[in-house]
Structure 1
Amino acid sequence: MSKEQDHVNDRIPSYEESIAHQGTIGPAMEKSPRLSIQQRNRLKRTRLVNDLTCSQIEPAVSRHLEDGIGTTVAILIPSDILSSATIVSTSNITSPALPSNINLLRLSEDEYKSSFLHQPAVLHDLASALTASLVDPTQLQLSAMASTNLPPTEPLPARPQPDQRKTLKYMAGIADSDKDPTGSTGSWNLGWRDDSDPAETAATVHTDEVTVSIRLQDITFRIENEMGLLDSATIKCVWCAVELKG
């Protein structure tokens, strides 16, 4: 083999050739199309909500309902609100007035921060999931299985390097006012956050058997601060009320 042929075989493939090669990886990739960021966010939200409902909320609520108590409330404290050293219980709550049958659930998983739990879409999903867990557990189980069986994501082709001259031109403030570097992505609604006020958001589901109401609620706790003195702290929690009919 000549040196010229060796040079041809050793050359780096072009960007177009790389894309063409990745496009012929195999039929397995063709059967598993990539999900959009909105779809992936929705599936992840469903999985987290179902896990929280099945592992913590439903067992706490059912414990009262199975004892013949018609109404019960579960209060969810986001995992990023209080330090791990702070101990709280229902006896620490000074406001609002509490019903007699209440469950205080302090979440510890990093996924259940206030930025997640305060989203209106999460509140609506919690209401639906809790209702399903009480009325039709099989439906919730099927939904949980569907949210965990995510198709594999196809790797994106490598992007070419941007034109440094255009980048520097924009950073210097010379770019035209109508040239948005993000294009239309800045106005996309990815389904993960909502512009509405979470404090005014609530979700209620009625069935023939139960009524489930989920809302954000300011809860005031009397806790011990870092100096060992009693102090008041108001926390926005998730209030889950369940009323058993009949």
Structure 2
Amino acid sequence: MRGQTFKQGAQAAVPTALGYISIGLACGIMAAPYMNLFEMALMSLLVYAGSAQFAMIGMIALQAPVLAIALTVFLINIRHLLLCLHASTFFRKSSLGENIAIGSLLTDETYGVLMGEQLHTELISASWMQGNNLLSYAAWFLGTVAGTALGGLLPNPESFGLDFALVAMFIGIFSSQFALMLRRVRMNKLFLVLSVVGLAYLLLAMLVQHSLAVLFATLLGCTVGVLLDDK
């Protein structure tokens, strides 16, 4: 039976883990001029967020204030609140501790694997999700640390333009998730939600910073999606 054991969750996460190793190598190489192995290892263990870590590296390179770095990481990662709230609906029978553990290691990619598994398995166990999360976590840690070690051997790692690797990964995630949505959501509902997000962003971008406009537009789109699901 699918979606039950830790091993099955880890097996489902293998493609994500391979991607994390490659993106982690890019992240580590970019960080090498500004961070040592211990600092990168600590960042990957405690922050564990690809987009946020790339942003942190750029801000560290510019010697930005710590408060500015912390606020940036918070705004980039706040979307995980929405992901965790939805993911928790699959584990209502699990303990609070298990849900906290799942939420702490949940990423865009492991959430996507969860959504894909949900198409095949109605009941997914917390053990399966832990396997999905932990293999991805380990792969990201190893990739970033190895990348930092490799970057220390390169004369000018910034010249490789490896920061685009994260953008490429997100494009791949979006395309697969969009194909999944087309299979599960009516086209008129999907079009309405995307229209709300797009219009809200255009209006908010004239009033607030672009990062905040993205955040508020996303929250509004999620709210509209939930209201439509209730009908």
* TM-score when normalising by structure 2: 0.27
| Larger radius of gyration between Structure 1 and Structure 2 | 1
Larger % of helix: which?
2
